[in-house]
Amino acid sequence: MNASLPDVPEVRVVGLPLLTSGFDLVERLDLAMHLKVHGPLEPIAGEQLATLAEQISLRGRGGAGFPFAKKLRAVAEAAIRRGVRPVVVINGSEDEPACRKDTVLINRAPHLILDGALLAAEALGARTLVVGVTRDSTEASMQAALAERGLSNRRGSILRARVQRNPVRMVTGESSALVRSADGGPPLPPGRKVRTSDSGVGGAPTLLSNAETFAQLAVAARIGAERYRRTGLRDEPGTVLLTLSGAVARPMVVEAPTGVPLRYVLQLAGAPPLPQGVLTGGYHGKWLDAVTAHDAVVSRASLEACGGALGAGAILPLGPGTCPLGEALHVANWLAAESAGQCGPCYLGLPAAARGLADVLDGGGPTALEALREVTRAVKRRGACKHPDGSAAFLESTIAAFTDDLAAHVLGDGCGRPVEGVLPLHDDSPQGQGSSGRKLAVDWTLCQGHGLCADIVPELIQLGPDGFPAVAEAAVPRYSEARAQRAVRRCPALALRIEEAPAAIPAQAPSPGLPMLPRGRGRRALGSGR
């Protein structure tokens, strides 16, 4: 069973703190303590704020890394052109199991985030502020912070501010999903790509950025660009927040200046001296081998240059005692279950990719490996959001990084190591994993191989070479519930049924794919993988 991280893990600092100032004094900086630690903040005119963001090379810290100044100017220009008030949105929807840096900031320093967002709102003339969160702790902390400032969503307020609570799902953190939910719709990507700077919340130009990004802006506005640039690299000044988990002695969030050796940060968290690999950028990120990770430094450019990714700042080393491909299969199954179920590349492609990796681990040989490569290529650049692209990049990087293990599984009997479940996932509750808590099961004594089920729910059931379902039972994600029920109703032989899934599966030596039951053979227990 995979580990999970607490909402607020241990926080450490390399060098002098900027974002985490005051964390050694109190658990949470309320408004009074925030002002004691950071001091007051004066408004800044729009162009001056954009210039400040340029001078400190501020990019979005949510993963995409888009220049903040360019986004700020685009929103201002769209608002002037259309003659409407823009909206400011803080994206605190940190739903990836390996990321906690925004959650830590919202729980412990919410006013630093609000400072940056309110600076932008004042500069743009915005009258609406929305804070997107997905956790009980972040919702409570941000609600309290708004109350401490006297901000509310009451009509007639100079600035209407509210917290938008969404479910813990990978796709709810996507910008268009947050905008859609803020407008009263489902927290899912709409399928049509529209820049939020042109049309966001309520159709108005919207400045949407990650929680850490606004906090960095607030720090720079207080200390000035020149002092801010004294920390870190010349082309990427300042600090970054990193979440360290995986094979570490102490999972933690670290604030570190850019340019710090990655190996130093790993040592701080108690990572193995020679990890098999280091996953950078989280579950939409890329793997580095031990030698490359040893030479890399903490910066977007450095990690990209050596084949990694900074992404949302998640860093996960793997120790020598676990099967890296088996660990990746746990994640691949979780990524497939996190689909919004709206487009084929996601709700068909990602489960197929997870099954492909399971086939490789199960002795499918070169044919299974080539099928896996083909399906990962097929899902890229075709989804309604970036979830298929990021998931495919993770799988492609896994294949490229662990060539020795891959060869052992493809050409031999496997690497011989167990899967320890060191890569964190959400807990086993259905709510935490996009599952309906139910499973689709085939009664082999009745099944006649009509194949209608595979046509209705191809993301869950495929036909084997003999024309019968290749799946004995499969967990039903929320997005597939309606189709699964339709498949049950339309089965001519009444061989398909929906059952309640067990509340929890005991941790065992895992190999996490769907339980496969080819005709005429014994069941190969592959576990649920989540």
By mean pLDDT, which of 111-120, 188-197, 409-418 is the weakest? 188-197
Instruction: Decide if pLDDT at 261 tops 90.
Output: yes
For the beta carbon of residue 192, count every other beta carbon within 10 angstroms: 7
Angle at 459 between CA 497 and CA 518, to 5 degrees: 65
pLDDT (tens digit per residue) in 399-429: 999 999 999 999 888 888 999 999 998 764 3
Interval 58-67 mean pLDDT: 89
What is each CA distance from 56 to 112, 198, 218, 234, 235, in whole angstroms?
17, 25, 12, 9, 8
pLDDT (tens digit per residue) in 90-100: 999 988 899 99
Q: Whole-number mean pLDDT of the chain?
A: 88
Instruction: Decide if pLDDT at 104 tops 70.
Output: yes
pLDDT (tens digit per residue) in 313-326: 999 999 999 999 99
What is the pLDDT, as a whole number, of residue 435?
59
Instruction: Decide if pLDDT at 525 tops 90.
Output: no
Residue 456, token pair as written in the block: 């209705």
What is the pLDDT, as a whole number, of residue 207?
97
For the beta carbon of residue 188, count every other beta carbon within 10 angstroms: 21
What is the pLDDT, as a whole number, of residue 503?
52
Instruction: Decide if pLDDT at 472 tops 80.
Output: no
- The number of angstroms, rounded, from the C-alpha of 276 to the middle of its chain's C-alpha atoms is 23
Placement of tokens 């607030």 in the chain: 218
pLDDT (tens digit per residue) in 23-60: 999 999 999 999 999 999 999 999 999 999 999 999 99
User: Using N-to-C axis directions, what is the helix angle for 110-124 and 101-108, rounded to 10°?
Assistant: 90
Of the spans 53-67, 420-434, 470-484, which averages the highest pLDDT? 53-67
What is the pLDDT, as a whole number, of residue 466?
85
What is the pLDDT, as a whole number, of residue 434?
53
The percent of residues in the chain predicted with pLDDT above 70, rounded, is: 92
Interval 178-191 mean pLDDT: 89
Residue 440, token pair as written in the block: 């689709």
Residue 260, token pair as written in the block: 């710090």
Which own/partner pairs from 389-394 qualify as long-range (CB within 8 Å, at least 24 positions apart)?
Answer: 389/284, 390/283, 390/284, 390/285, 391/283, 391/284, 391/332, 391/335, 391/336, 391/350, 391/353, 392/349, 392/353, 393/284, 393/285, 393/286, 394/283, 394/284, 394/285, 394/286, 394/328, 394/331, 394/332, 394/335
Of 164, 19, 159, whose CA–CA distance to 90 is shortest? 164
SS3 of the chain: helix, strand, coil, percent, to 5: 40, 15, 45
What is the pLDDT, as a whole number, of residue 380?
83
Placement of tokens 């990690």 in the chain: 303
**Predicted confidence band of residue 188 (pLDDT cuts 50, 70, 90):** confident
Of the spans 132-136, 360-364, 433-437, 497-501, which averages the highest pLDDT? 132-136
Q: Whole-model pTM above 0.75?
A: yes
- From CA 191, how far away is CA 338, in angstroms rounded? 16
What is each CA distance from 251 to 2, 18, 23, 96, 217, in whole angstroms?
14, 21, 17, 15, 27
